[in-house]
Chains A and B, each alone.
Chain A
Amino acid sequence: MAFQKIRQWPKAVWHWLFLGLFLLLIVGLAWPSYSWTQANVKQMATRHNAKMSPVIMIPGSSANESRFDDLITTINKTDHQNHSLLRLHIYTDGTIKATGAIRPNDREPFIVVGFENNDDGYDNIKQQAKLFGQAFTQLTKKYNFNNFKGFGHSNGGLIYTDFLEHYFKDDQITMKRLMTVGTPYNFAENSTSRKTQMLADFIKDRSAIPENLVVYSVAGTENYDNDSIVPIKSVAAGKYIYQGQAAQYTQITVTGKMAQHSELLANPQIIELMTRYLLDPVKAPTKKTTTRTYHDADPTNSLENDANGQ
Chain B
Amino acid sequence: MGTITGIVNFLAKVRSLSFIQIMQRTLVILFPFALFGAFAQVFAASFLSVGGFFGSIFDVDAWLPHYEALRVLFDDISQLTLGMLTVAGAFQAAKYTAKYYHKDDQMAGLTGAVGYCLIFFHHTTTETGIAVEMRYYDYHWLLVGVLIGYGVGQLFRWFGQSENATAADSALILNRAFLAMRPIAITLFWALALHTGFALLRYAKIDQYITTGVQDLANQKASLPITFGAALLTTVLGWFGFTGPLAYTSKISEIEIWDNLDTALSQGSSWHAPHPYTALSLYHSFGTFGGTGALLALLIGLILLSRNRNSRLVAQWSFFPAIFNASLPTMLGIPILLNPLFFLPFTLIPLVNMGLAAGAIALHWMPPVVYPVPAGTPGPLVAFIGTNGNVPALLFGIGLLVVDVCLYWPFIRLAENVNQHLREEAM
Contact B303 A37 (CB under 8 A): no
**Given known A-B contacts A15-B304, A34-B389, A26 and B266 have beta carbons under 8 A apart:** no
Which one, A16, A36, A44, contacts B57 given CB within 8 A?
A36
Contact partner of B389 (CB less than 8 A), chosen from A15, A22, A37, A48, is A37
Q: Min CB distance, B36 to chain A, in Å?
A: 22
Bound-state CA distance A163–B152 (Å) is 53
Instruction: Say whether A32 contacts B57, CB under 8 Å.
Output: yes
Against A, the Cβ 8 Å flags (1 = close, 0 = not) of B375-386 are 001101100111
- Contact of A36 with B385 at beta-carbon distance under 8 Å, contacts A15-B303, A16-B304, A30-B394 already known: yes
Known: A29-B378, A30-B381, A30-B384. A45 touches B57 (CB 8 A): no
User: Chain A's nearest CB lies how many Å from the CB of B313?
Assistant: 13
**Nearest Cβ distance between residue A34 and chain B, in whole angstroms?**
4
Task: Give the interface size bracket for B toward A.
Answer: 20 to 34
Q: Which residues of B contact A45 (CB under 8 A)?
A: 265, 268
Query: Is A38 at the interface (CB under 8 A from chain B)?
Result: yes
B197 within 8 A of A: no
* B381–A32 CB distance below 8 A: no
- Chain A residue total in the interface (Cβ 8 A): 23
Q: Does B266 lie within 8 Å of A18, measured CB to CB?
A: no
Which residues of chain A are within 8 angstroms of B40 by Cβ–Cβ distance? none
A139 at the interface (CB under 8 A from B): no
Q: Is the CB of A37 within 8 A of B304?
A: no
- Interchain CB contact (< 8 A) of A38 among B58, B265, B388, B398: B388
Distance in Å from the Cβ of A256 to the closest Cβ of chain B? 46
**Which residue among B57, B261, B303, B384 has the maximum number of chain A CB atoms within 10 Å of its CB?**
B57
CB distance from A298 to the nearest CB of B (A): 16
In the complex, the answer to whether A48 meets B266 with C-beta atoms within 8 Å is yes
- B389: which A residues are within 8 A, CB to CB? 33-34, 37-38
In the bound assembly, the distance between CA atoms of A92 and B58 in angstroms comes to: 32
Q: Any chain A CB within 8 A of the CB of B300?
A: yes
Residues of chain B lying within 8 A (CB to CB) of residue A33: 57, 377, 381, 384-385, 389
A273 to B36, CA, bound (A): 60
Closest to B372 in A: A40
Name the B residues within 8 Å of A36 (CB-CB).
Answer: 56-57, 385
CB distance from B50 to the nearest CB of A (A): 12
CB-CB under 8 A from A44, the residues of chain B are 261, 265, 371-372
Q: Looking across the interface, which residue of chain A has its beta carbon closest to that of B304?
A: A15
CB of B144 closer than 8 Å to a CB of A:
no
The answer, among A25, A29, A37, for a CB contact under 8 Å with B388, is: A37
Docked complex Cα distance between A34 and B384 (Å)? 8
* B11: Cβ under 8 A from any A Cβ: no
* Beta-carbon contact of A49 and B378 below 8 Å: no
- Contact check, B300 vs A37: say whether CB atoms are below 8 A apart: no
A49 partner residues in chain B, CB cutoff 8 A:
265-266
* Chain A, residue nearest B370 (CB): A41
Would you list which residues of chain A between 3 and 26 have a CB under 8 Å from chain B?
15-16, 18-19, 22-23, 25-26
User: What is the bound-complex CA distance between A40 and B394, given in angstroms?
Assistant: 18
Given the complex, which residues of A lie within 8 Å of B371, measured CB to CB?
A: 37, 40-41, 44
Chain A residues with CB under 8 Å of B261's CB are 44
Interface residue B93 (Cβ < 8 Å from any Cβ of A): no
Q: Cβ of B57: which chain A residues have Cβ within 8 Å of it?
A: 29, 32-33, 35-36
Report B314 CB to chain A, min CB distance, Å: 14
Distance, CA A249 to CA B389, complexed state (A):
44
A interface footprint on B358-400 (CB within 8 Å = 1, 0 otherwise): 0000000000000110000110110011101100001000100
Interface check B262, CB cutoff 8 A: yes
Query: Cα distance A34–B319 when bound, in Å?
Result: 24
Inter-subunit contact B388/A18 (CB<8 Å):
no
**In this assembly, does B294 line the interface, its C-beta being within 8 Å of a C-beta of chain A?**
no
Bound Cα distance from A18 to B388, whole angstroms:
29
Q: Assess whether B295 is interfacial by the CB under 8 Å rule.
A: no
Taking the closest CB of chain B, its distance from the CB of A170, in whole angstroms, is 13
B268 surroundings in chain A (CB, below 8 A)? 45
Q: Tell me whether A19 and B262 are in contact (CB under 8 A).
A: no
Task: Decide: A18 and B378 in contact? CB cutoff 8 A.
Answer: no
A48 touches B372 (CB 8 A): no
In the assembled complex, B146 has its CB within 8 A of some CB on chain A: no
Residues of B within 8 A of A30 (CB): 381, 384, 394
A123-173 interface with B by 8 A CB criterion: none
A18–B268 CA distance with the chains assembled, in angstroms: 39
B318-346 interface with A by 8 A CB criterion: 319, 323
Bound-state Cα–Cα, A228 to B393, Å: 67
The distance in angstroms between the C-alpha atoms of A18 and B377, with both chains bound, is 20
Inter-chain contacts of A37 with B (CB < 8 A): 371, 384-386, 388-389
A32 touches B58 (CB 8 A): yes
Chain B nearest CB: distance from A50 CB in Å?
Answer: 11
Taken together as a complex, chains A and B put the C-alpha atoms of A37 and B373 apart, in Å, by 8
Whole-angstrom distance between the alpha carbons of A45 and B266 in the complex? 7
The chain B residue sitting closest to A42, CB to CB, is: B388
Q: Taking the nearest CB of chain A, how far is it from the CB of B276, in angstroms?
A: 18
Q: Tell me how far the C-beta of B401 lies from the nearest C-beta in chain A, rounded to whole angstroms.
A: 9
**In this complex, what residue of B is CB-closest to A23?**
B398
Q: Shortest distance in angstroms between B61's beta carbon and chain A's nearest beta carbon?
A: 14
CA distance A41 to B380 in the complex (A): 19
- Nearest 10 Cβ contacts at the A-B interface: A48-B265, A36-B57, A34-B389, A37-B385, A32-B57, A45-B265, A41-B388, A15-B304, A33-B385, A41-B371
Name 17 interchain pairs, CB-CB below 8 A, sorted by A.
Answer: A22-B300, A22-B323, A26-B378, A26-B398, A29-B378, A29-B381, A30-B394, A33-B57, A33-B389, A36-B57, A37-B384, A37-B388, A38-B389, A40-B56, A40-B372, A44-B371, A49-B266
What is the interface of chain B, defined by CB distance below 8 A to chain A?
A: 56-58, 261-262, 265-266, 268, 300, 303-304, 316, 319, 323, 371-372, 377-378, 380-381, 384-386, 388-389, 394, 398
